[in-house]
Amino acid sequence: MIGIIDYGMGNLGSVSNAFRFLELDAKIVTRKQEMDACTALLLPGVGAFGDCMAHLVEHDFVDALRSWVDAGKPLMGICLGLQALFGESEESPGVEGLGIFSGTVKKFDLPRELKVPQIGWNRMKEVQPECPMFNGIPDESFFYLVHSYYVCPEDPSIIAGSTEYGIEYCSSVWKDNVFATQFHPEKSQAAGLQMLRNFWSWAEEHK
């Protein structure tokens, strides 16, 4: 079973509906004690980095998520759930992220003709085509994004996919048991649903 972390910020409805459509077993997790019944976790999120971390602290998920990753269990982050995996963000100076990956989250600094936030469909170039979450998904498929900030990993080897919007930036990461995307698979039609299905299969292999 995949546990969808509910910490007060996130597209819980759309993510849950996507798994329901795929007929895959997923449930919303509101307390860290409920994580024990899950084979994998999904960390969604919309809003501001600082609010996200405050809510994770308030709901006592910070250490629980770090321990989950340290134990080698599968975790997927979506949108703000990707950004929260890093140490810090320009959006909320002084706020500590989960620190699962080294690096920072930066705000787009783009020519005036490119609107910020980036809202809409854009291509993802597969930097790590061997990533199991890309199975059955053509390279440079379109995914749906809504964001003003992007992650900048210190270790470029964790970049799984990249996207161009004025600059080329990291739009997905993968290392060991952690995969995360800036885009919203649950809103990205066939390619996004396939990615969620791949995450499910990957999690099953890690049992």
Instruction: Provide the domain limits for residue 42.
Output: 2-205
- Single pTM value for the model: 0.96
147 is catalytic: no
End-to-end Cα separation, the chain, in angstroms: 10
CATH number at residue 95: 3.40.50.880
Neighbours of 66 (CB within 10 A): 13
Mean pLDDT within 27-41 = 95
Residue 186 has pLDDT above 90, yes or no: yes
Torsion of CA 15, 19, 20, 24, to 10 degrees: -160
Residue 47 has pLDDT above 90, yes or no: no
186 is catalytic: yes
Please tell me which residue, 12 or 32, carries the higher pLDDT value. Answer: 32
Which pLDDT value is given to residue 143? 98
To the nearest whole percent, how much of the chain has pLDDT over 90? Answer: 94
**pLDDT tens digit string along 151-175?**
999 999 999 999 999 999 999 999 9
Exactly one of 88, 91, 126, 186 is catalytic; which is it?
186
**pLDDT tens digit string along 116-142?**
999 999 999 999 999 999 999 999 999
Mean pLDDT within 88-101 = 97
Exactly one of 55, 59, 147, 184 is catalytic; which is it?
184
For helices 62-70 and 49-58, give the axis angle rounded to 10 degrees: 90
The domain tally of the chain equals 1
Mean pLDDT within 74-85 = 97
Mean pLDDT within 61-79 = 97
52 is catalytic: no
Which pLDDT value is given to residue 104? 97
Mean pLDDT within 70-83 = 97
Exactly one of 79, 91, 126, 170 is catalytic; which is it?
79
169 Cβ partners below 8 Å, 6+ apart? 150, 151, 152, 162, 163, 182
List the one residue out of 192, 165, 176 whose CA is nearest residue 106: 165
Neighbours of 17 (CB within 10 A): 12
Residue 199 has pLDDT above 90, yes or no: yes
Which pLDDT value is given to residue 73? 97
- Indicate the range of 1-5, 43-47, 82-86 predicted with least confidence: 43-47
3-class DSSP string for the chain? CEEEECCCCCCHHHHHHHHHHCCCCEEEECCHHHHHHCCEEEECCCCCHHHHHHHHHHCCCHHHHHHHHHCCCCEEEECHHHHCCEEEECCCCCCCCCCCEEEEEEECCCCCCCCCCEEEEEEEEECCCCCHHHCCCCCCEEEEEEECEEEEECCHHHEEEEEEECEEEEEEEEECCEEEECCEHHHCHHHHHHHHHHHHHHHHHCC
Strands 178-181 and 167-175: antiparallel
What is the residue-averaged pLDDT of the chain? 95
